[in-house]
């Protein structure tokens, strides 16, 4: 039994020595990590200063090569014309879309009527089916009428807003001309 206690004590001493070695290695790694962290921070600071210098240099270059004000005004006027043209085209497209939508709804309602008549002709004996189809057709037709009415109201409102904004833009442009 004394042999095993001595062996356990020897093993414990060896483990303590190993733990000390690991502790020393960990301390060394911590010191190295801190040194590397300081180097990284220094590099970040240097890089930040370089970026800041480059950005200020670029801003100065841009300021030196900025086009004259008259060129900017002409460019803005051209953009305004293009915007007005696009707004007009949008109005025309909305109107065209609305017309196509109503035409499609008319075609679909005619198609439903024809199908209803065809079904009525083939199912004269069953009045329950005919009533059910009539109700379904009238509900669908009402839903489509409501949708068309809603779309028309939205389109009118959008056109009014576009026209109001279109009227405001020339007034702004006129009021800015004397200050140039």
pLDDT digits (tens, 9 = 90+) for 33-62: 999 999 999 998 988 888 888 878 777 776
pLDDT score for 57: 77
* Mean pLDDT (whole number) for 117-124: 73
pLDDT in tens, 135-155: 888 888 888 888 888 888 888
Residue 133, C-beta contacts closer than 8 angstroms, at least 6 positions apart: 116, 119, 120
Token representation of residue 149:
């009415």
The domain locations on the chain are 10-66, 69-124, 126-163
* Mean pLDDT (whole number) for 163-178: 64
Rounded percentage of the chain residues whose pLDDT exceeds 90: 24
Residue 101, C-beta contacts closer than 8 angstroms, at least 6 positions apart: 148, 151
């Amino acid at each position: 039994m004394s042999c095993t206690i001595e062996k356990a004590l020897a093993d414990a001493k060896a483990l303590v020595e190993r733990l000390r070695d690991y502790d020393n290695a960990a301390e060394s790694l911590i010191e190295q990590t801190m040194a590397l962290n300081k180097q990284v921070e220094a590099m970040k600071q240097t890089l930040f200063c370089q970026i800041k210098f480059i950005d200020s240099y670029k801003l100065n270059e841009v300021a030196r090569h900025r086009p004259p004000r008259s060129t900017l005004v002409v460019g803005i006027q051209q953009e305004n014309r293009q915007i007005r043209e696009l707004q007009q085209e949008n109005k025309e497209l909305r109107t065209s879309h609305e017309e196509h939508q109503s035409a499609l709804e008319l075609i679909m309602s005619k198609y439903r009527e024809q199908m209803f008549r065809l079904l009525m002709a083939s199912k004269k004996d069953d009045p329950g089916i005919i009533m059910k189809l009539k109700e379904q057709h009238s509900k669908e037709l009402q839903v489509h009428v409501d949708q068309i009415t809603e779309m028309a109201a939205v389109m009118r409102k959008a056109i009014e807003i576009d026209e109001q904004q279109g009227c405001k833009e020339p007034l702004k442009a006129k009021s800015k001309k004397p200050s140039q």
